[in-house]
Structure 1
Amino acid sequence: MVRYKFPLLFLTLLFTTIFSLGQDKFTIAFGSCNNQNLPNPFWQDIISLQPNVWIWGGDNIYADTHNMHKMKKLYNQQKNHFLYKKLIKTTPVLATWDDHDYGKNDGGTEYKKKKESQQLFLDFLDIPINSPRRKQEGIYHSKTFNINNNSIKIIVLDSRYFRTGLTKGIGSKRFQSNTHDKGSILGTQQWKWLESELKNSNSSFNIIVSSIQILSKEHGFEKWGNFPNEVTKLFKLIKTSKAKNIIFLSGDRHISEFSKTTLKNIPYPIIDFTSSGLTHSYNSFKNEQNKFRVGEVISSLSFGILHIDLTNNKVTFQMRGKNNTILQEINQKYP
């Protein structure tokens, strides 16, 4: 048997380097549009990647009901899926909701069971009964992950609880932009909260999760673009807050795509990574305008991955399909 002798100092430096490299990497896995009655082919793939966090991007179940007993049953069905249970044993979970788990298709502030629905949503996430999130209106929240001398803040928005009425579209478009600069997506209190979250953030990256797309605005479905005043307000806040390296994550559309734009005096591009869906997708997708799109639309089942390299301030964005196949990838260097 051959034995190798290494100086203790060398071994110490080696293991310190390996540990530091591991700690300076952070992986986010996320996805949306998960019908509890359909097979989800991705849980084992996601588990194998050992993400630092899993983020539900909305439509985490399909309930569409005023019956809270039914909604609870559907949440329990998803929660008890044996592979999902395996995932959450080792992986922190953050989540927003979209319309189908909120309880009403395309629903907003008018949904009469939103308070009851919120409690079931928090039950699904095992949020303690005495948590302040149980008393606030809306499910918005944030969490900061510390990695050595860096941190990543994940800000989860609620695009349902306070969202005012949509403007009906013309022709094939279901909805169109509100041209009178009225209405809101986030509501007064959530806007104040978001302003505070960004202005007081010292994190190296700030990930903003929205159930609906923020950048893509030419299609006729739900989107931030239906409320141009809200988009303007958000972009202004990004500029004034001076929060570092903001990235958008979104879902809802049953397609996956990357959208990218630039803002004056912001030294990096703003990327909106849409990932959808986990159990069903827009397989018949043909074409759709999006002037901010980078790459191609993926209309097959997929989930999203962000590999964040905090040493080099680089993010690798990946759409992944079955068996962890990389369907599309972009890389972005940040200041």
Structure 2
Amino acid sequence: MKRRNYLTTTAVLAGGSALFPSMTWAKEELLKDGDLETSLKLLNLWGEQPSVKQELLKNAYTYLNASEGRTLAGLAEQPEFQALCKQAGLTHLGGPLLGSVTEEGASVWIRTLKPAKVEVQVGNTSYGPVFSTVESDLTAVVPVSGLKPGTQNPYQVLVDGSPISIPEDAALVAAPAATSSGKVRIAFGSCFHRWGLGNQKQSELILSRNPSALLLLGDIAVQDRKNHLGLHRADYFLRDLHPAWQNLVATVPVFATWDDHDYFRNDWAGIPKGHTEQDKQGVCDVFRQSWNNPSYGFNDDRRGVFLRTRIGPCDVIMVDNRYFRENKDGSFLGDEQMKWFEEQLLDCKGPFIILSCGSMWSDYVSNGKDSWGVCDPEGRERIFSLIEKNKIGGVLLISGDRHGARGFRIPRSSGFSFYEFEAASLGGRSGPAATSDKWNTQFYGISGKYAFGEFSIEADLPDPEVTFRLMGDDGTEIHKLTLTRSQLTPKG
């Protein structure tokens, strides 16, 4: 599919301002998260936005900040906000955000301006309707199926029968066929931390590489809002105002789990001290309304955000390392999720399996702070031993949390090694040391640079291969590593 000149389009939206501000300023000033002034700086970071768009954010933030329980549905009822939306030509509050991709299609998430009937049209076929409601905080998710595997299909979203404005050249992606052969490309990363969401170079680069999906591992859009659900929603509203984000997710299907910052705040998990089960459930409900996953945890009152999916020849399991933790040793996933995880691992059929966790599998960075190595080494050993005992092949570990990007080989006493690919660099933030002389199993490390991870899988070879690339937002291939399935399969 031909891509439009994205930078030119963004310049028009931004009023022609400088597109690439000093990120030194961003990293120093935007550490002061939490107030309206910061949110406005973030909105304008990648090019000054029209004044009416800034007024929209001011109005939304002020309303949502006033009470912990305020919603976007309540905001949309306010006459002043309605008038600003009309002045800005806003046809909807968020989306389209693609997700839940399969070989036959994907789902389309949208947030409307009022309770409405939502349909998606692909060619001459209409899907839906699905109704957005006050209870869903004006969101609707429309499943689309019956497409040919591995295709990109132009689409339109209709709200109450009228087409809404969506990014030019938006296409609905169907994944490659779910077989043990074939090719697929999957992008991944974490730690947008709000200011990376507007990085148009990075978004356009991901788009240009035509991945079948983008896996986001946490610290994405919400920044340390604790139990203030109004501000959780304000941060998601800010996310959906960024042209770079709008263009990316209108074509690349997204699967998302959380980490600490978009859960409550840094290093928090379970029910934080001074908070309640109701607080935890509320944060989870807002997250589920703001994304487009095929499932969320147990899909019942137990909640959680873990999931399993299949993208072409690759199984994907994304765990939830926050919601079920009991803030004591040995409870990283909780008993029920751990049992679920083991069952899913044994059931995987693809030549490669991506295992995703919001924080790191290894102990190397920051002495393993807030990772498996410190919080639940017994649980990690239980998983690794299960993989080795059952000779489960093709396992790729991905992680986030520790700002920057690092890759490690995790050696086992059996002589086998797991490979961990961390790409917590979508927001370009600096973090702990990128490298160390003590880390003799490390194969890449960066800090303070915008980058995303990518797996290109060729499963139709006699010994299927996966090539990892760490891609800088300037198109630089920072690191490349090719591994075969046999290298990723325990022997004994």
Q: TM-score under structure 1 normalisation?
A: 0.80
Instruction: Give distance in 1, aligned partners of 2:385 and 2:315.
Output: 19
1:7 maps to none
Are 1:159 and 1:185, in contact at CA under 8 Å, matched by a contact in 2?
yes
Is 1:183 aligned to residue 344 of structure 2? no
Is 1:101 aligned to residue 242 of structure 2? no
Instruction: Give distance in 1, aligned partners of 2:297 and 2:323.
Output: 19
Are 2:297 and 2:304, in contact at CA under 8 Å, matched by a contact in 1?
no
Question: Aligned-pair distance for 1:259?
Answer: 0.8
Q: 1:212 aligns with which of 340, 346, 359?
A: 359
1:223 maps to 371
Instruction: Give distance in 2, aligned partners of 1:32 and 1:154.
Output: 16
Question: Aligned-pair distance for 1:289?
Answer: 6.1
Instruction: Give distance in 2, aligned partners of 1:130 and 1:275.
Output: 23
Alignment of 1:153-192 (within 5 A): 153-165=315-327, 182-192=329-339
1:171 maps to none
Q: 2:420 aligns with which of 259, 272, 295?
A: 272
Cα deviation 1:51-82 (Å, max 9, x = unaligned):
01101011012421221011011012213422
Instruction: Give distance in 2, aligned partners of 1:131 and 1:261.
Output: 28
Task: Specify the SS of the correspondent of 1:207.
Answer: strand
Task: Specify the SS of the correspondent of 1:237.
Answer: helix
Q: 1:64 aligns with which of 224, 228, 242?
A: 224
Instruction: Give distance in 2, aligned partners of 1:286 and 1:320.
Output: 16
Alignment of 1:239-318 (within 5 A): 239-263=388-412, 269-282=417-430, 285=433, 287-288=435-436, 291=439, 293-299=441-447, 300-312=449-461, 313-318=464-469
Sort the Cα spacing of 1:255 and 1:37 in 2 relative to 1 into closer, same or farther, 3 A.
Answer: closer
Instruction: Give distance in 2, aligned partners of 1:128 and 1:315.
Output: 25
Question: Aligned-pair distance for 1:162?
Answer: 1.7
Task: Specify the SS of the correspondent of 1:90.
Answer: coil
Are 2:218 and 2:256, in contact at CA under 8 Å, matched by a contact in 1?
yes
Are 2:395 and 2:418, in contact at CA under 8 Å, matched by a contact in 1?
yes
Instruction: Give distance in 2, aligned partners of 1:157 and 1:248.
Output: 11
Sort the Cα spacing of 1:331 and 1:126 in 2 relative to 1 into closer, same or farther, 3 A.
Answer: closer
Are 2:434 and 2:445, in contact at CA under 8 Å, matched by a contact in 1?
no
Q: 2:385 aligns with which of 233, 236, 241?
A: 236
Q: How many residues align?
A: 296
Task: Specify the SS of the correspondent of 1:252.
Answer: coil
Task: Specify the SS of the correspondent of 1:318.
Answer: strand
Question: Aligned-pair distance for 1:163?
Answer: 2.0
Question: Aligned-pair distance for 1:288?
Answer: 3.9
Instruction: Give distance in 2, aligned partners of 1:246 and 1:284.
Output: 26
Instruction: Give distance in 2, aligned partners of 1:255 and 1:236.
Output: 29
Instruction: Give distance in 2, aligned partners of 1:205 and 1:255.
Output: 25
Q: 2:480 aligns with which of 310, 322, 329?
A: 329
Amino acid at match of 1:224: W
Amino acid at match of 1:162: F
Question: Aligned-pair distance for 1:183?
Answer: 2.8
1:195 maps to 342
Are 1:154 and 1:206, in contact at CA under 8 Å, matched by a contact in 2?
yes
2:292 maps to 126
Point out the structure with max Rg over C-alpha.
Answer: 2
Q: 2:203 aligns with which of 35, 43, 47?
A: 43
220-229 or 248-257: bigger deviation: 220-229
Task: Specify the SS of the correspondent of 2:455.
Answer: strand
Sort the Cα spacing of 1:325 and 1:62 in 2 relative to 1 into closer, same or farther, 3 A.
Answer: same
Question: Aligned-pair distance for 1:143?
Answer: 0.5
Are 1:195 and 1:241, in contact at CA under 8 Å, matched by a contact in 2?
no
Instruction: Give distance in 2, aligned partners of 1:157 and 1:203.
Output: 18
Higher-RCO chain (CA-CA 8 Å, sequence separation at least 6): 1
Task: Specify the SS of the correspondent of 1:238.
Answer: helix
Unaligned runs of 5+ residues in structure 2 are 1-150, 152-175, 487-492
Sort the Cα spacing of 1:289 and 1:218 in 2 relative to 1 into closer, same or farther, 3 A.
Answer: farther
Are 1:216 and 1:292, in contact at CA under 8 Å, matched by a contact in 2?
no
Are 1:212 and 1:222, in contact at CA under 8 Å, matched by a contact in 2?
yes
Sort the Cα spacing of 1:283 and 1:233 in 2 relative to 1 into closer, same or farther, 3 A.
Answer: closer
Instruction: Give distance in 1, aligned partners of 2:380 and 2:392.
Output: 17
Instruction: Give distance in 1, aligned partners of 2:252 and 2:476.
Output: 21
Sort the Cα spacing of 1:209 and 1:292 in 2 relative to 1 into closer, same or farther, 3 A.
Answer: farther
Q: TM-score under structure 2 normalisation?
A: 0.56
Question: Aligned-pair distance for 1:132?
Answer: 6.0
Task: Specify the SS of the correspondent of 1:323.
Answer: coil
Unaligned runs of 5+ residues in structure 1 are 1-18, 167-181
Same amino acid, percent of matched pairs: 25
2:283 maps to 117
1:173 maps to none
Instruction: Give distance in 2, aligned partners of 1:311 and 1:61.
Output: 37
Are 1:199 and 1:242, in contact at CA under 8 Å, matched by a contact in 2?
no
Instruction: Give distance in 1, aligned partners of 2:296 and 2:403.
Output: 35
Are 1:212 and 1:223, in contact at CA under 8 Å, matched by a contact in 2?
yes
Instruction: Give distance in 1, aligned partners of 2:397 and 2:446.
Output: 18
Sort the Cα spacing of 1:329 and 1:73 in 2 relative to 1 into closer, same or farther, 3 A.
Answer: same
Sort the Cα spacing of 1:284 and 1:263 in 2 relative to 1 into closer, same or farther, 3 A.
Answer: closer
Cα deviation 1:70-119 (Å, max 9, x = unaligned):
10110122134223222222222111111000122101112342211111
Sort the Cα spacing of 1:42 and 1:134 in 2 relative to 1 into closer, same or farther, 3 A.
Answer: farther
